[in-house]
Amino acid sequence: MKNHKEISLVAQLDNLDFSSQSLSRDRIGLELNRRIFRTQSIGNKSDQPTRKGNMFRNPLPAFVLGFFLALAGFSVAHPDTRGALMKTFYRVGNGTVIISGGQKTDLPGNSSLKRGFEERIDTGEDFAMGTIYGGYGCGVPEGADPFMKQTPSLQIAAGLVNRTLMVPTYFHEALSANMHFQKAEILPNGMAALYFGAGPYETRLTQQLVDQNNTVTYSTSTLEVKADGSRVTTYLDPQLEELNAKGISVFWQAHDEGTRRRFGRWAEEKTDTVIGKFYWEDGGQSFTLDGRFLTKEEGLKIINSLEPYNHK
């Protein structure tokens, strides 16, 4: 028979739950659903689950969903949302804007933004995805596939876009050569997200063609659902710092409060790490560089090392 202490220890071990610390639960669920949906679409056209259901049935963390909705609002240029936003805009370049401050409320049962966006996702007119770095939404150009393409080959990724990709030539000394490039994701609108390093060293470089008529808008926000069902989106001030790299201005956002909170108590005790992001424009492309533990100094080294990718 087990003694009292043994039973107590068993009970403690049984109740030990790490999963609430996870940053990725919702993202993994979304990725799996997206893959399952694609399989179903190919295998059985008449029995496909809707992406609308998958996207909004899985609860996203507040900061991700808020970010996602904010991006969605601007990417699809929904008139209700534009009217409701009275914000400060930081212009990084001709085609890159960052929203700062302000608040938006969707009344219960009247979320026209969400409803409209869901419908456009369903019909393949729009695309949306959630990542640990935030959500992303965009329109799907006519004739393009309404889903993300992923490849572990930089050469294949380069062939999927109609421009020259920029890639870093500097990597932290701790990363061996086979840990440098991990994968590329190409979105329906041509945005490329390249992933370098792995685990805590993972950094993501995004790049997409922009001009005055084709802009990308970023924001960081929190989403609060009130007791009456209304949804309040609060846009956080990004605290940008202008720096210089490769002879151009780049903007450093020191850390993402939403992400930082999600790391929980342990993250608050970290004083030697930051969760940061760079924004800049160069050569008609809008870039971001982010990583869970990317430092300003490390990011600048990576940006300074960027070179056009030539696979020949």
Q: How far is the CB of 220 from another protein (least distance, A)?
A: 19
Beta bridge pairs of residue 276: 291
Looking at beta carbons only, is 36 or 107 nearer to another protein?
Answer: 36
Residue carrying the six token digits 């945005």 = 191
Burial (0-12, 13-18, 19+ Cβ within 10 Å), 177: exposed
Q: Give the residue with the Cβ less far from another protein, 40 or 169.
A: 40
Minimum Å distance from CB 22 to another protein? Answer: 6
| Long-range pairs of 251-255 with CB within 8 A, sequence gap ≥ 24 | 251/90, 251/92, 251/98, 251/278, 251/279, 251/280, 252/276, 252/277, 252/278, 252/296, 252/299, 253/220, 253/277, 253/278, 253/279, 254/296
Residues that bind another protein (CB under 8 A): 5-6, 9-10, 12-14, 16-19, 21-25, 27-29, 31-33, 35-36, 39-40, 49, 54, 132, 172-174, 176, 198-202, 263, 266, 269-270, 272-273, 292-293
Distance of CA 47 to the CA centre of its chain: 30
Q: How far is the CB of 74 from another protein (least distance, A)?
A: 28
Question: Closest separation between CB of residue 24 and another protein, Å?
Answer: 4
> Of 163 and 301, which CB lies nearer to another protein in the complex structure?
301
Which residue's CB is nearer to another protein, number 12 or number 310?
Answer: 12
Rounded least distance, CB 49 to another protein, Å? 6
User: Minimum distance from CB of 19 to another protein (Å)?
Assistant: 4
Nearer to another protein, 31 or 80 (CB): 31
Question: Which is nearer to another protein, 60 or 76 (by Cβ)?
Answer: 60
Nearest 10 degrees: CA dihedral of 286, 290, 294, 300? -10
Complex with another protein: residue 24 or 103, whichever CB lies closer:
24
Rounded to a whole number of angstroms, the minimum distance from the CB of residue 275 to another protein is 11
* Residue number with CB closer to another protein (12 or 213): 12
Least gap, CB of 175 to another protein (angstroms): 9
